[in-house]
Structure 1
Amino acid sequence: MHRSLHGGRHELGQNFLTHTPTIKHLTTLVAATEGSIIEIGAGGGALTRSLATLNRPLTAIELDEHRAKALSASLPGITVVRADALATRYDQPVVVGNIPFHLTTPLLRRLLTTGSWNDGIVLTQWEVARKRAGVGGGTLLTAQSWPWFEFSLSGRVAATSFTPRPSVDGGILVMRRRAQPLVPQHERKAYADFTHAMFTGRGQGLTGIVQRYLRCSAAASRNVVGLAGVSRSALPRDLSAPQWASLWREVKRES
């Protein structure tokens, strides 16, 4: 295949998924959703061909113009769009893809802050998938998104499942937009600023961080944290989605 205008495989950060059971598992996860599908980074089309068997409207996004052309020719029943995944708006109900590992964070940020999709099923680095799902403690990005999305893990994918083989294993992250957000949409920016302050703030545990944030007494801070249903010894990484929403409500009330 000719070299892409955007560079070769290394420049595009592509590690193609070749493990048939994983492809089938991803397809099964998508089959449990409803509506049209958009695939991020179709590459050689291994996952695309499997998704096409679901007989649902399918759009494949691929940056490499040669691969996009070949995929369009081999699968005339789907829509192939040559585009940058970071510049694509994801408004179809279902998003799926084997995300280039080096683009994981910016792509997840785009998915979680733009578009109107309902279900997202992405294959990315194992540690990133674990962290985004809140396994072993939440992260800032997860906390900022939790009021509007649910996250779960659906399996670890060995590095040997890709060609060429990456240096780390992959993980399947399942994301679903909440039918009823835990925080109103119009408060999203203020809430994001709040969670950022909690993760970066100084203080003895969460109560100390809240105290500095509110510029209140230690007793008032303990009261806020207690009313939110959070342990006084908790750290920001320890909170669940409902606890973040509850803490936000109590902090707003105290502000």
Structure 2
Amino acid sequence: MNLASATQVKALLAKYGVRPKKRLGQNFLVDRNVLTRILDAADLTAESNVLEIGPGLGIVTVEAAARAGRVVCVELDRSLEPILKEALSGCDNVEVIIQDFLKLDLAGLLEGSGRWTVVANLPYYITTPIITKLIGSKRYFDAMLLMVQREVAARLRAEANNDVYGAISVFVQYHCEIESIMTVSRNVFYPVPEVDSELIMLRVRSSPPVAVSDESLLFSIVRAAFGKRRKTLLNALSSSEELKWDKHEAQVVLGAAGIDAGRRAETLSLAEFAALANAAI
């Protein structure tokens, strides 16, 4: 079975009576060169543990199993289970879990098994929740190799004063170093999606790039600031139900951090958000 062939993938789907589900963002990789780049970037060894999110038809899973010691893949779509069983019939080191990844108990699955590498092709509609969950369990991971839409990749690595800079940019950059591996044409997927993708690597930082006394408070401030990004910081922070600051409290914190209350969230660097959080303690 050649899963890197669009013709054979179509035949395989027809054999099992499965149609790609647009609502789940199902676009299956059918290119051998991109597959090789993914596996090379993952840098797997016989000691590697791999967590794959959204294995689809198993094209990456089969190759990962040949390089890694253990592969656990989590697939939401139960209709793909028989296809995965066929594709992975010779892979004794692969476990397939049919479940919503966002409902999965990661600690229960990964605890006591060493460090893991994540490999995932993330649908646009659920990219942020999945990345947030992964980073929330970052203690288990060395790196996360993610296929995302190009606009998502741009948002993740955006810096202050960029139109696409937002709360997820600050969150990811605080926890991870971001590396672009390659731009991926929409034409290497079946069905062909409407936009191109980008393969990115998130490497978990050993320590954050800025020092904060209260991480929870930092991200409460970030969410409040970007939640009303068209408002000034004074108005955005003082109207946050999460922070529960009045205008005087917000003004005091901004002043203590040396930040103009009339600025907007997209102008603040990660270091300035950290200064705000530390000034609020």
TM bracket, shorter-chain basis: 0.7 to 0.9
Q: Report the equivalent of 1:143.
A: 170
Shift of 1:10: 3.3
SS in 2 for 1:150: strand
Q: Report the equivalent of 2:122.
A: 99
Which runs of at least 4 in structure 1 moved beyond 6 Å after TM superposition?
A: 230-233
1:193 and 2:209 aligned:
no
Q: Which of 8, 16, 37 lines up with 1:2 in the alignment?
A: 16
Q: Which of 204, 207, 220 lines up with 1:180 in the alignment?
A: 207
Shift of 1:165: 0.3
Root-mean-square deviation (CA), in Å? 3.4
SS in 2 for 1:197: helix
TM-score by length of 1: 0.78
Shift of 1:209: 5.3
How far, CA to CA, are the matches of 1:42 and 1:203 in structure 2? Answer: 39
Q: Report the equivalent of 1:58.
A: 71
Q: Which of 256, 265, 269 lines up with 1:224 in the alignment?
A: 256
Q: 1:160 to 1:203 in 2, by over 3 A?
A: closer
Q: Report the equivalent of 2:12.
A: none
Shift of 1:142: 2.5
Q: 1:98 to 1:9 in 2, by over 3 A?
A: same
Q: Which residue identity lines up with residue 18 of structure 1 in the other structure?
A: V
1:130 and 2:143 aligned:
no
1:217-244 residue CA offsets vs partner (Å, 9 max, x unmatched): 9985664343xxx788864224333333
Q: Which of 50, 70, 82 lines up with 1:37 in the alignment?
A: 50
1:61-72 equivalence runs, <5 A: 61-63=74-76, 64-72=80-88
1:16-35 equivalence runs, <5 A: 16-31=28-43, 35=48
Q: 1:51 to 1:201 in 2, by over 3 A?
A: same
Q: Which residue identity lines up with residue 80 of structure 1 in the other structure?
A: V
Aligned residues: 246
1:48-82 residue CA offsets vs partner (Å, 9 max, x unmatched): 23323423322222232222322331423323333
- Structure 1's unaligned 5+ residue stretches are none
1:153-200 residue CA offsets vs partner (Å, 9 max, x unmatched): 33221111211100111112322222123456x934332221112113
TM-score by length of 2: 0.71
1:215 and 2:247 aligned:
yes
The sequence identity of aligned pairs, in percent, is 22
